[in-house]
Structure 1
Amino acid sequence: MAAQTPTKAKFVKTQGLALAVSKATTQDPTAVDLEFANLSVTIKQPQFQGGQSDEIEVTTLASEAKEYTVGLADNGTFSMSGNWKADDEAQTVLRDARDDGEPRAFKSTFKDGTGCTFLGLVTQYTWDAAPNGTVNGTFNVRITGSVKFTMPVAP
């Protein structure tokens, strides 16, 4: 019988992803004194969607074709859907953030130790329900500023 070869695919399992939002407004998503509320207990499907930078035309009379450079990075949006639970601490933070319009820090830590942090403005939340199901909620966040990715510390 042939020996089984290890997988060559690289991946990170979803189970074990820690997702959190800062309880207070902040301008520094990496501040050490921030307290976070756990989003992992209600959120089923987070989605990070990077934005697109503007194209700036730099064509001159000497150009042989149109020439471009890119503008500032637009880091896009972050949406989260899962179980709606109005009295959940993290969902209360998200609704408060929508009401006050102030940025909160968001952080995710994957099972392999990688992660990312960013500031976000909660722009919308919704809930929906259907017979023979549970109430579902969605929160939309506009990322403001840069996104910092971190790698695990080597042993």
Structure 2
Amino acid sequence: MKSTAISAQGTKLYVSEKAFVTDGDTQKAVADAIEVNNLRSFKGFDGQATEVDVTNLSSEAKEYLVGLQDYGNLVIDVDRDFSDKGQQALKADKGGPSIRNFLLIFPNASAAKFRGFAKNTPLEGGVDQTIKSTGLTIRITGPVDIVQLKRPEETKTDGGQKKEGVE
């Protein structure tokens, strides 16, 4: 079977005060957003549902119900650019967390849409290294929705036909 793996190269993270409209193409979705530039890596959505202990004196063994889902954090690494508006927005959250809207767009135009706030913006550097923020943690609040966006070229039509190029 042919692999359906998605390369991470080209993944982008956007932050916005406004909710993302994800029923159209990628450009429409990020029109009012700020890109967090120099994204090196990401890891996250690492939370889990809680366990509700319902064991009582009549139980023969421990008993549990599944509680609410906690989506955890999104942890990113960026090459630091102190003039980048996306990185500045994350840094501003530390002083008094603002709940912001985030959209992590993958190269295949699928995206993770969620709300959250930056908990930290660590700084790291050394000999023969760039200045980085590694382990920048965005705390997720509420659900994470995986959505499929249209690539800009999929929304350009000419009489119902996709445009193949300019003549």
Give the direction of change, closer, same or farther, for the CA distance of 1:132–1:61 in structure 2 (3 Å limit).
closer
Tell me the distance in 1 between the aligned counterparts of 2:38 and 2:113. 19
Q: Secondary structure at the match of 1:46?
A: strand
Residue type at the aligned position of 1:73: Q
Flag structure 1 segments of 5+ consecutive residues without an equivalent.
1-6
How far does residue 29 in structure 1 lie from its aligned partner after superposition? 5.1
1:96 deviation in Å?
Answer: 1.3
Q: Are the equivalent residues in 2 in contact too, given 1:81–1:137 (CA < 8 A)? A: yes
5+ residue gaps, structure 2: 23-28, 155-167
* Counterpart code for 1:93: A
SS at structure 2 position matched to 1:100:
coil
User: What root-mean-square deviation, in Å, do the aligned CA atoms of Structure 1 and Structure 2 show?
Assistant: 2.4
Q: Secondary structure at the match of 1:91?
A: helix
Give 1:98 shift: 1.9
Which residue in the other structure is 2:146 paired with? 149
- What is the rounded CA distance, in whole Å, between the counterparts of 2:107 and 2:20 in structure 1? 20
- Per the alignment, residue 13 of structure 2 pairs with 19
Identity of aligned residues (%): 26
* Aligned counterparts, 1:7-46, within 5 A: 8-22=2-16, 24=17, 28=19, 30=21, 35-39=32-36, 41-46=37-42
Segment drifting more, 64-73 vs 54-63: 54-63
Match 1:48 to one of 24, 44, 48: 44
- Name the TM-score, length of structure 2 as normaliser: 0.75
Distance 2:100 2:20 in 1: 8
Measure how far apart 1:19 and its partner are: 1.4
Distance 1:146 1:34, change over 3 A: farther
Residue matched to 1:117: 113
CA distance in 2, matches of 1:30, 1:73: 24
Number of aligned positions between the proteins = 144
Alignment match, 1:4: none
Taking a change above 3 Å as real, the CA distance of residues 59 and 30 of structure 1, as seen in their structure-2 partners, is farther
